[in-house]
Amino acid sequence: MKHLLLAASCAWLLAAEAAAAPLVSGTVTARNGAALSDVTVQVELRTARTSTPTDAQGAFRFDAATLFPAADLRDASALMLKFSKPGYQPANKLLRLAPGQALAAVTIQLDAAGGSTALDAAERQTLDKFAPAPGSTPLYLIPYALTGVTAPEPKSVNDALRANLERVIVTHVQASTVGGSPSLSLKLLPVEGGRDVDRARAYGTYLNALGVITGYGAVESGARGARSLVVSSTFLVVPQAESVGAPVLYVDDDMPADSLASPRLYKHLSKLWGRSTVLALGISEFGKAKAAGDKAALARIRKYLQAERAAAGPGDEALVSQLNALVEAVDKELAK
Amino acid sequence: MEEATDPLKLIDLPSQMLDKVVEVLAKVGIDLPALVLQLFLLALVLLALAVALRGLFPDWRNAKALPLLSAGAIALIAIGILFGIGSQLMLPDRVVGRVSGQGLNQPRVELLDFRGQVVSTSGSVDTQTGEFIAYYSPAWNGRARTLRISATGCKPRDNVISRSRLGTETTWDFACEKL
C-alpha cells in the first residue's frame, strides 16, 4: 500500500511538472496580415538559446521543457522570444512565466525594413490586395515601362508578358529537379515601377515575395526592317542567404514586335527566367533547411542547384557565380 | 544619503563599504571581478588578524588595551567582508524593468559592474512593451551598478542602479539623443 501511495505521489508530481512546462507557440505575420514563413524565432533563457523557423502559415512552436534545464525553467520569470527575417525589422517579445499557467499564443507583426518602411498608406493598401495565400510562392511583375509600343497597347503587352513569363518559369521549375511542387505564380502589380529597383524590392519585401521582376523595353528596328521589342529585365530575389545576399539578376529578351499579343511569346523568352527562379527557390529553401538543421533538405537543394549549374550556358556567368556561392554555403552547412 | 537614513538599510552598511573598497582597489589598478577582489581583501585582513593575534597569545589576558582593540577591529573588518560577500550572494541574479521612450529603434540594455564592464548575458528589450530582463552573476561580478540603455542611431545612456532598486521593476526613461 505504501509503495502504491508513493508511486501515485510520484506520478502526480511528474504530471504537475509536465503541466507546468511552458509550451510556447504563435504566429508571425507581416503588417498586411500575410503569414510570414521562414522567420527565425529564437527563444532565450539566460545564456541558453535555440531557434526554429516559422512554417508556411507563419506558425512556430517550442516545448520549453525539452529545451532548457528544468531548474533554470523553474527559476525563470520570463522567456525572451526574438524574431528575425531578412528584409524585416527584428522584433522581441518578453513572455512572463507563471508557475502552472499555460502561455497564451503569441502573435507578432513584423515591419518591413529599409525601403518598404517608406511605402505610403495608399501603396500598402494596393499591395495588400495581392498578399500571397499561405503556402504559395509568389513572384510579382511590376509593369514594364515600354516605349514605342502602340499596338497592342502597353497594358496588353504587359499582360501577355506576365502570362508568358509565368509559363516559362513554371515549366522550367517543374522540369527541374527542385521537387516538392512549389506553388509558383506570377502576379502583375498595378503599380508604377519601371526602373526603380529599390522600390521594387520594397514591394517584394512587403509582400514576402520570392522575387520581383521589373524592367523596361523599347521597339527597335532591325537591319532588315523587322521590328522587335527589346526588353531589359531585372529579377530581384527577395529572400536572402548568407554569403549570397539577395541577388539581382538581369535578363534580356528580344521578341518580334508584330506578335506581342501572341500566346506563344514564351518561345522567345530567355531560359534565365527559370534558372533565376530556381536560384531564388534555393535561397529561400536554404534558409529554411539551415534553421531547421535539415540535412536531407540541404542535400536536395544542393542537388538541384548543381543540376541547374551544369545546364547553364554562355551568358549565364552571373547566375552561375550566384549558384556557386549558394552551393558553397550549402556545402558548408552540410559539413557541420 | 537617502539610504543611510533608513535604519533597516544600516544592515547594508558593510556591503556598501566593501563596494567602496573594491572600487578603490580597481582604481589603483587591481582590476579583477568583485568576488576575486573581495577574497583578496579578506586574505589580507585575515593575514593582519593572524599577525595581531600572534602578538597577543599566549598571554592575551595581560595584553595591553591597544593591541586587543586592534585585533578586535581587524576581526570586525573580516566579519564585515564576509557579511558583504554573503549579502552579495543573496542579490537577485537579474534586473527586470521597462524602457520607456518614443520611437526607439531596437533598444537594448546592458548591466555594468563597478569597473564599467558589461556583465549581463542578455539584454533584449520587448519591442512592443519595452520590458526587459537582464541576467548576470552578482556572486562573481558584484552588484550591477549601471544600466546602459542604447538604441540604433542614439547615444547610449548610463543609469545608476541603486541597491534598493535591484529587486524592483523600474521604468527607465530613455530619450534618444541622435548620434
Residue ranges per structural domain of chain A: 2-110, 114-335
pLDDT surpasses 90 at B50: no
Residues of A in contact with B124 (CB under 8 A): 44, 80, 82, 92, 94
The CA R_g of chain A, rounded to the nearest whole Å, is 25
CB-nearest to B127 from A44, A78, A91 is: A91
Q: Structural domain boundaries of chain B?
A: 7-89, 94-173
pLDDT surpasses 90 at A1: no
Q: What is the pLDDT of residues A156-211, one digit of tens each?
A: 888 889 999 999 999 998 888 777 666 788 999 988 765 677 788 888 888 888 99
Peptide bond into B58 cis (omega under 30): yes
Q: What is the pLDDT of residues B122-169, one digit of tens each?
A: 889 998 889 999 999 888 888 888 999 998 878 899 999 887 777 778
Is B96 within 8 Å of A89 when comparing Cβ atoms?
no
Q: What percentage of residues in chain A have a pLDDT greater than 70?
A: 88
Q: How confident is the model at residue A280 (pLDDT cuts 50, 70, 90)?
A: very high
Q: What is the pLDDT of residues A10-43, one digit of tens each?
A: 444 444 444 445 688 899 988 767 788 889 999 9
Give ipTM to 2 decimals: 0.70
Peptide bond into A314 cis (omega under 30): no
User: What grid cell was written down for A281?
Assistant: 527557390
CB neighbours of residue A306 within 10 Å: 15
Is B94 within 8 Å of A77 when comparing Cβ atoms?
yes
Q: Phi, psi (5° rounding) for residue A233?
A: -115, 155
Is B131 within 8 Å of A82 when comparing Cβ atoms?
no
CB-nearest to B121 from A47, A91, A94 is: A47
Is B124 within 8 Å of A80 when comparing Cβ atoms?
yes
Q: What is the pLDDT of residue B4?
A: 44
Q: What is the pLDDT of residue B31?
A: 67
Among chain B residues, CA nearest to A92: B126
Q: What is the pLDDT of residue A116?
A: 44
Mean pLDDT of the region B54-72? 79
Q: How confident is the model at residue A118 (pLDDT cuts 50, 70, 90)?
A: low
Is A92 within 8 Å of B94 when comparing Cβ atoms?
no
Q: What percentage of residues in chain B have a pLDDT greater than 90?
A: 16
The answer to whether B137 contacts chain A (CB < 8 Å) is no
Q: How confident is the model at residue A300 (pLDDT cuts 50, 70, 90)?
A: very high
Among A303-307, B80-84, B91-95, the range scoring the smallest mean pLDDT is: B80-84
For CA atoms B59, B61, B62, B66, give the dihedral sign.
positive
Interface test with B, best of A92, A96, A117 (most B CBs within 10 A): A92
Under 8 Å CB-to-CB from B115, ≥6 apart: which residues?
Answer: B26, B31
Among chain B residues, CA nearest to A47: B121
pLDDT surpasses 70 at A277: yes
Residues of A in contact with B122 (CB under 8 A): 44, 46-47, 80
Q: What is the pLDDT of residue A203?
A: 87
Please determine, looking at this structure, whether the domain spanning A2-110 carries the CATH number 3.40.190.10: no
Q: What is the pLDDT of residue B111?
A: 94
Q: What is the pLDDT of residue A32?
A: 65
Q: What is the pLDDT of residue A86?
A: 80
Residues of A in contact with B96 (CB under 8 A): 77-78
- Burial profile A101-124: b = 16 or more Cβ within 10 angstroms, e = fewer: eebeebebbbebeebbeebeeebe
Q: pTM of the entire structure?
A: 0.54
Is A77 within 8 Å of B129 when comparing Cβ atoms?
no
Q: What is the pLDDT of residue A153?
A: 83
Average pLDDT score over chain A: 82
Is B128 within 8 Å of A93 when comparing Cβ atoms?
yes
- The type of residue at A38 is D
Q: What is the pLDDT of residue A285?
A: 87
In contact, A32 and A25? CB cutoff 8 Å: no
Is B133 within 8 Å of A78 when comparing Cβ atoms?
yes
Long-range contacts of A314-322 (CB under 8 A, 24+ apart): A315/A272, A316/A272, A316/A275, A318/A249, A318/A250, A319/A249, A319/A272, A319/A275, A319/A276, A319/A279, A322/A244, A322/A247, A322/A249, A322/A279
- Please return the burial class of B20, using the count of CB atoms within 10 Å of its CB with bins 0-12, 13-18 and 19+: exposed
Please name every residue paired with A30 in a beta bridge, in sequence order, or none if there are none: A110
The better pLDDT of the pair A32, A276 is held by A276
Q: Phi, psi (5° rounding) for residue A228?
A: -135, 155
Q: What is the pLDDT of residue A13?
A: 46
The better pLDDT of the pair A246, B31 is held by A246
Beta-carbon pairs below 8 A across chains A and B:
38
Is B122 within 8 Å of A46 when comparing Cβ atoms?
yes
Q: What is the pLDDT of residue A330?
A: 92
Distances (CA, A) of A146 to A150, A221, A244: 9, 15, 31
Residues of A in contact with B131 (CB under 8 A): 78, 94
Among A80-89, A145-154, B104-113, the range scoring the smallest mean pLDDT is: A145-154
The better pLDDT of the pair A83, A115 is held by A83
Q: What is the pLDDT of residues A49-75, one digit of tens each?
A: 888 899 888 899 988 778 787 777 777
Q: What is the pLDDT of residue A114?
A: 57
Nearest to A231 by CA among A164, A278, A313: A164
User: What grid cell was written down for A3?
Assistant: 509503495
Distance from CA of A72 to the nearest CA of B (A): 12
* Interfacial B residues in 25-64 facing A (CB < 8 Å): none
CB-nearest to B126 from A47, A89, A93 is: A93
Is B96 within 8 Å of A77 when comparing Cβ atoms?
yes
Distance from CA of A278 to the nearest CA of B (A): 34
The answer to whether B121 contacts chain A (CB < 8 Å) is yes
